[in-house]
Structure 1
């Protein structure tokens, strides 16, 4: 029995070459050691200054606008007088359930002191204090009947002296 050998056709050579290249590429990719050293680093909020941060959390209601503005002015001055970063978050929040996630966000941003102004945020403080005992909370003009266990209540006439002292204490302990 005699087998006839035919020379390979051009099409056959091209297909065979493509198959070898594809197989080689797949084998190289499979055998390549996985190196995660070039992975994108996880992004995390971080304060590289090493300074404590005092954060104002307030609602944008007309009723609390004057208190918010006065509190922010006092907080900015206290930040200038002490090595403390200050930031504000003024958002629309109708009640404590809408304000609570914003307080959690400020805790996640490593605010050392969170000052609240406005009934929505003032009402969310008791729950935030329970889950974040390492954060100081101060409530400006809290509504009657709110349990502020773990938070400092500040009236309008105490604001300048007491909030300034709280911010100074942050710098002293840090």
Structure 2
């Protein structure tokens, strides 16, 4: 009887070890590391600044717009993000702007020649994003033109965010 009991115990140990080894060593084809996914844990709307490095008027307009986004973020009703863009063409800038669209930015402020041209192209496609561009062009559906005067730019951006998002 004792031999049968020992044999049964050994058999159970072998089966359990086999099952553990099977599940530990098997290749399920999904051993690639997963990339982290950015999440907006606050669920606040996102407002973004796409700052082109080729702005002929300098950085004053871009800084005023960014400050307006930061002021809106201080209310805890929106999240502000800034992306410096060193594009060499509007097509190049569009790649960067696509990243902001993927981040679900509700308002995108664009400065710099290539970035504003790309923003106008993307706005013409009818996205649900409100664009604010710092260029000498005309306003269009979903596009407002920012002033070159920094205090006025700040006021325009804050007003836009308040109108669109209530922040």
TM-score (structure 1 length as normaliser): 0.66
1:169 and 1:115, CA in 2 relative to 1: closer, same or farther beyond 3 A?
A: same
Alignment-derived partner of residue 71 in structure 2: 77
For residues 160 and 76 of structure 2, the distance between their equivalents in structure 1, rounded to whole angstroms, comes to 11
Cα RMSD (Å): 3.2
The structure whose Rg is larger is 1
Unaligned runs of 5+ in 2: 1-17
Deviation at 1:42, TM superposition (A): 7.0
Alignment-derived partner of residue 155 in structure 1: 147
Instruction: For 1:4-83, list aligned pairs within 5 A.
Output: 43-61=36-54, 63=56, 64-81=58-75, 83=77
Unaligned runs of 5+ in 1: 1-23
Count, aligned residues? 142
Deviation track 1:31-76 (CA, whole Å, cap 9, x = no partner) reads x8x7x8x997675433121100110001123633222222212221
Which 4+ residue blocks in structure 1 deviate beyond 6 angstroms? Answer: 38-42
Alignment-derived partner of residue 121 in structure 2: 127
Does structure 2 conserve the Cα–Cα contact (< 8 Å) formed by 1:58 and 1:117? yes
